[in-house]
Amino acid sequence: MTIHWCGTGLSAIPGLRRLIKAGHDICVWNRSTDKAQSAVGDLTDKIKAFDFDSLSGEVSEGDLVVSMLPGDWHVPLAEMCINKGAHFVSSSYIAPEMRDLHAKAVVRGICAVNEIGLDPGIDHLMAHHLVAEYKASDAYDPENDLSFTSYCGGIPKTPNPFRYKFSWSPLGVLKALRSPSRSIRDFEELNVARPWDAISSYTAPLPEAETFEVYPNRDSIPFIEDYQFAPDWRVKQFVRGTLRLNGWTDAWADVFREIETLEGEAGEARLKEMSDQFWRDNAYDEGEPDRVVLCVSLKAERGGETVWHKTYVMDAWGDENGTAMARLVSIPVSLAIESVLNGEIEPGVSPAPHDPKLVERYLGEVGKLAQHLAVVDHLA
């Protein structure tokens, strides 16, 4: 049984190195073998140039393929795995085309695990922990009004005037700013065309409380079911969103105004031009620490009074071993790989596991990766 790890970008290395050191049989695939060599060449010589056909020719039944490649590779690789009787893992969101592979994966007894990085990933685990704890509490009542928030952000440890720094090409961040979002506010669906139309303030319950700017992203509503909210629960608020340093809105105001006007091929070309400029001006310096803040909160109210309210909060930053982002994305991936190989995850297409044993084990490992990890009881 071989683990075929595809992609050795900035967010892939800690998890990959962990698995190699643990003695797993791993073949590393990357478009640039030189980059892979510099990343893990001190641990292994099983490094090959990534090519779909070459990889497909080497994947055997019972193997596992990890995709840390750009998102458009995930579905073709997962489909190839299912056809060959091999498992698949990625950290990315489950695309509709990936979800369509579920029945076939179940029939073949194959796991295709996604959404097991940082966000999505660790945020899912925190949500599962809080929902399970709430269900088991004396405060639980189907008639309670529930408010759920999940905010995650990669931010510079040392704030800069732009209030943000880039670990890789800014183009993805710029394109995300053009995406609509869907969430729940005051028991009703909230549709937002652009993030800057819904920016609000959030105080994170860190050891020293800190205020950030937050906004909803993507479509939060499917996660109500994913987080095992019962269909009859009264959901007052449900939002998964992005966290940024205070002052981000003002620093990016000109960017927002321009993005709103961009259309067609000329607009795409201008986005690329902006991305290149931001990379020159606001990329992380060599060895500069990044920071990741993640806060997942569940509150229950009855008759306007809060009866249960807890927040799972994490604060992590880069150190001499590398960036916080890299370890928080790739080490959960490596944990999921081991769970698949140990038969701990059911066949089919799935996100981060909700099995309580795996949730607590994974979060225990996250506690070793973050400088601060805690569950805050706001009523204690």
- Helix H or strand E encompassing 87: strand 87-90
Crossing angle for the helix pair 324-341 and 122-135, nearest 10 degrees?
70
- 340 CB-side CA count, 13 A: 32
Residue 190, burial from CB neighbour count under 10 angstroms (0-12, 13-18, 19+): middle
pLDDT number for residue 136: 97
Q: Report the first-to-last Cα separation within the chain, whole angstroms.
A: 49
pLDDT number for residue 167: 86
Name the pairing type of β-strands 290-302 and 145-156. Answer: antiparallel
C-alpha to C-alpha distances, 206 to 189, 297, 376, nearest whole angstrom: 30, 13, 9
pLDDT number for residue 168: 83
pLDDT number for residue 169: 86
C-alpha to C-alpha distances, 1 to 48, 63, 158, 306, nearest whole angstrom: 17, 5, 44, 51
CA dihedral (4, 367, 173, 252) in degrees, to 10, reads -170
Nearest to 206 by CA among 140, 153, 136, 132: 153
User: How many whole angstroms separate alpha carbon 4 and alpha carbon 344?
Assistant: 20
Contact, 12 vs 3, CB < 8 A?
no
User: How many whole angstroms separate alpha carbon 250 and alpha carbon 253?
Assistant: 5
| The one-letter amino acid at 185 | R
Q: What is the pTM of this model?
A: 0.96
pLDDT number for residue 206: 97
Going along 124-185, which residue ranges are E strands? Answer: 145-156, 181-185
Q: For the segment 308-328, what is each residue's pLDDT rounded down to a tens digit?
A: 999 999 999 999 888 999 999
pLDDT number for residue 313: 98
Residue 26 in tokens: 């791993």
Q: For the segment 42-52, what is each residue's pLDDT rounded down to a tens digit?
A: 999 999 999 99
DSSP state of 110: -
DSSP assignment string, 26-39:
EEEEES-HHHHHHH
Q: For the segment 320-379, what is each residue's pLDDT rounded down to a tens digit?
A: 888 999 999 999 999 999 999 999 999 999 999 999 999 999 999 999 999 999 999 999
pLDDT mean across residues, the chain: 96
Q: Which residues contact 107 (CB under 8 A, 6 or more apart)?
A: none
Q: For the segment 231-257, what is each residue's pLDDT rounded down to a tens digit?
A: 999 999 999 999 999 999 999 999 999
